[in-house]
Amino acid sequence: MRFQTDLVPARLIRRYKRFLADCTLADGTEITAHCANPGSMMGLAEAGTKVWLEPNDDPKKKLKYGLRLVDHENGHFTGVDTSLPNRMLRAALEASKIAPLADYKTVRPEVKYGTNSRVDFLLSGKGLPDAYVEVKSVTLCRSPALAEFPDSVTARGTKHMHELAEVARAGHRAVLLYLVQRTDCTHVDIAADIDPKYAAAHADATKAGVETICIGTHISPEGISIAAPLALGRPAR
């Protein structure tokens, strides 16, 4: 999907209060951008980092820029807007472009399940068990080629793992889909040192029959799109 407005380059001054980022534009102007990312953005929020912002002229928005990309200045990018994955994946699922889920023809977003939760997508198809799909945006990279989730303790993510496990035990299909918003990774793993409870819940869910799918992305200042599947686990050394 292409960005609605041409992105503009900037340098990050600081990211704070989770959803705010002060940046310096190319002409030296300092602005505050909306940062649509509730995670820690570990490794992506150092002062001086090159970023790309999406300007807007919407009178309903208090902030006139949105932080979209981190530019690693080596040909690779990270997408930091966590609202994008579900939009991209809905289109991909409806177009049957996610191979392990391509046989499902009906895609319903934000369906209630579990305990006061909503699954990102509920898929259905003739003769197939319903598939409950939870999507997680992955942006953390601490080792070459390895993306990790989560980048901070996530009680919500752990809750989702337990609920997916119950879905699988009930005979439905339960899928955890990691969308890696980085162009420099080939593998995905669980950051057990950051959140041991999430790691344990993921292991339990896997034993219960929950599937894990990892997908990469193509990223540039023009847009973000679905790329090839990535491997689950650490790269061989």
**How far apart (Å, rounded) are the C-alpha atoms in residues 172 and 91?**
23
Residue 223 vs residues 18, 32, 61, 74: alpha-carbon distances, Å: 23, 22, 22, 18
Are 224 and 4 spatial neighbours (Cβ–Cβ below 8 Å)?
no
Q: Hunting for tokens 């391509």 — which residue is that?
A: 102
Residue 115: per-residue pLDDT: 82
Set out the domains of the chain in order of their start, with CATH numbers: 8-79 (2.40.50.580), 84-232 (3.40.1350.60)
**How far apart (Å, rounded) are the C-alpha atoms in residues 37 and 18?**
7
State CA 20 to chain mean position distance.
19
Closest CA to 21 of 7, 5, 41: 41
Q: Hunting for tokens 């289109």 — which residue is that?
A: 91
**What pLDDT digit, counting tens, does each position of 88-139 carry?**
999 999 999 999 999 999 999 999 998 888 999 999 999 999 999 999 999 9
What percent of the residues of the chain are helix, what percent strand, and what percent coil, each to the nearest 5? 20, 45, 40
Are 55 and 8 spatial neighbours (Cβ–Cβ below 8 Å)?
yes
**What pLDDT digit, counting tens, does each position of 147-204 carry?**
999 999 999 999 999 999 999 999 999 999 999 999 999 999 999 999 999 999 999 9
